[in-house]
Structure 1
Amino acid sequence: MSKTFLDNLVNNPASKYGKVFAISIQVLIIIAIISFSFETEPDLKPQTKNLLHTIEVICVVIFSVEYLLRIYVAKNKLKFITSFFGIIDLLAILPFYLTTGIDLRALRALRFLRLFSIFKVIRYNRAILQFSRAIVYAKEQILLFLFITLILIYLAAVGIYYFEHAAQPEAFASIFDSLWWAIITLTTVGYGDVYPITVGGRVFTFIILMIGLGIVAIPTGIISSALTQSAEKKDDEDIK
């Protein structure tokens, strides 16, 4: 395979094979995240643990090959390695090769942000551009906002699980149980039926609450901005 083909494969989701590659990686990320989350469930059967470990090995191998391919095709290899996505790609596979007290596999959720490069293709579709500019403009941003919110909810659940699992094994038995706390905290609803009791958990909760306050206001700003820009574009076209 030529370097140009590999570059299009990993960096150009607008191409035929690039799009298939990008979607395949996203599906694999979902599988890896679900597998990692199930590993935190108590009383897993040995067969289930073996299956989850096999899935982990397969995911890491594919992620490692992808990471090396991205380094290979990068024009400035050091720049890619030290970039945001380069660091996230590395952290997605590093825990498998290093035995540490900190499990960074939850950061694989951040790799979903690569998905939005696919939406560049939409810009070249005239039919979509003609279909209500305000809605289309806001749609991409709202979809991005929802994806980031889901990622933050998942990371919040992982964080509180590690802070509170030992102190409250029943309330925070697994990451799936912790998702309820993450949702009500990040959305600032806070029913109070599940709450942290450790110092680390309370500090972490404060940080999540601050993030949640900002998240609540984002959709209103996105929609208002989209409507304003749509009106301005229409006015310019009417003048012309």
Structure 2
Amino acid sequence: MKEKFRGVVDSTDNRIGRVFSLVIQVLIMVSVITFSMETLPNLEPQTRTILHYIEIFCVVIFTIEYFIRIYIAENKLRFIFSFFGIVDFLAILPFYLVVGVDLRSLRALRFLRLFRILKLVRYNRAMNQFSRAIKGAKEQIFLFIFITLILIYFAAVGIYYFENEAQPEHFASIFDSLWWAIITLTTVGYGDVYPITVGGKVFTFFILMIGLGIVAIPTGIISSALTNSVDRSKSEEN
């Protein structure tokens, strides 16, 4: 029985497996669309009822899939606490938390329904390769994030000393300066907070140059990892 279920749920080499994969992907997209539609103002009660029934149907299918995956898993605990196991659990959790409960605070947990879109990673080959690429380059990515956080802090400290006296309302402390550091290093530049002193402008110029590099580095890391992932997949197929 396990092998039959595994052939349907975990394989796309047969017709039933491909149909199952397609159905789940369609239901994920339907669920995401209905979630978005529920936020529309002045929605008719009848429409809300239809959306609710669609939600129930999707959750029932996702729940069945989740328990089937636990059933066929060689190591059940390992699957439950794996990335996909957690995503599958979070995809159905909000529905069961709010069923029969009239606590407004719990409604905020419905945003967890967005985790359903992550289920597409399992069924999409290209997204699966991207996931493998991220895993392969996780050390470089973590190093990049760590260095970026350090640069953001130093940028906040630098602009604080340049602009604190000139603009105490915007740069009252290093913590206030962190907002400027983030939007400058990411080259967003909203324009709500900007330097007015000569030293601050010169300092900002160098921070912007560093920011351009910060934007380019992760692109190179992920591109290289994705290329290696694609090459490795081709080698495995051959």
TM-score by structure 2 length? 0.53
1:102 corresponding residue in structure 2 = 109
The CA deviation at 1:216 is 7.5
Which 5+ residue runs of structure 1 have no aligned equivalent? Answer: 121-139, 146-184, 196-211, 234-240
Which 5+ residue runs of structure 2 have no aligned equivalent? Answer: 99-105, 135-182, 193-213
Partner deviation per Cα, 1:147-192 (whole Å, 9 max, x = no partner): xxxxxxxxxxxxxxxxxxxxxxxxxxxxxxxxxxxxxx9xx79696
Distance 1:118 1:42 in 2: 36
1:81 is aligned with what amino acid?
I
CA contact 1:13–1:118 (8 Å) conserved in 2: no
- 1:113 correspondence with 2:112: no
CA contact 2:121–2:127 (8 Å) conserved in 1: no
Partner deviation per Cα, 1:96-132 (whole Å, 9 max, x = no partner): 1013232210111111110235999xxxxxxxxxxxx
- Select the structure of larger CA radius of gyration: 2
The CA deviation at 1:24 is 0.9
CA contact 1:29–1:109 (8 Å) conserved in 2: yes
Distance 2:216 2:32 in 1: 26
Q: CA RMSD in A?
A: 3.8
Distance 1:214 1:71 in 2: 41
2:82 is aligned with what amino acid?
S
Distance 2:25 2:75 in 1: 25
Distance 1:215 1:26 in 2: 33
1:86 is aligned with what amino acid?
G
2:121 is aligned with what amino acid?
L
1:26 is aligned with what amino acid?
Q
CA contact 2:8–2:17 (8 Å) conserved in 1: yes
1:171 corresponding residue in structure 2 = none
Q: Describe how 1:178-197 pairs up with structure 2 within 5 A.
A: none
Distance 1:118 1:13 in 2: 15
Query: Which structure has the higher relative contact order (CA within 8 Å, separation 6+)?
Result: 1
The CA deviation at 1:47 is 1.2
- 1:40 correspondence with 2:47: no
1:75 corresponding residue in structure 2 = 74
1:93 is aligned with what amino acid?
I
Aligned residues between the structures: 151
- 1:91 correspondence with 2:93: no
CA contact 2:130–2:226 (8 Å) conserved in 1: no
Percent identity of paired positions between Structure 1 and Structure 2? 41
TM-score by structure 1 length? 0.52
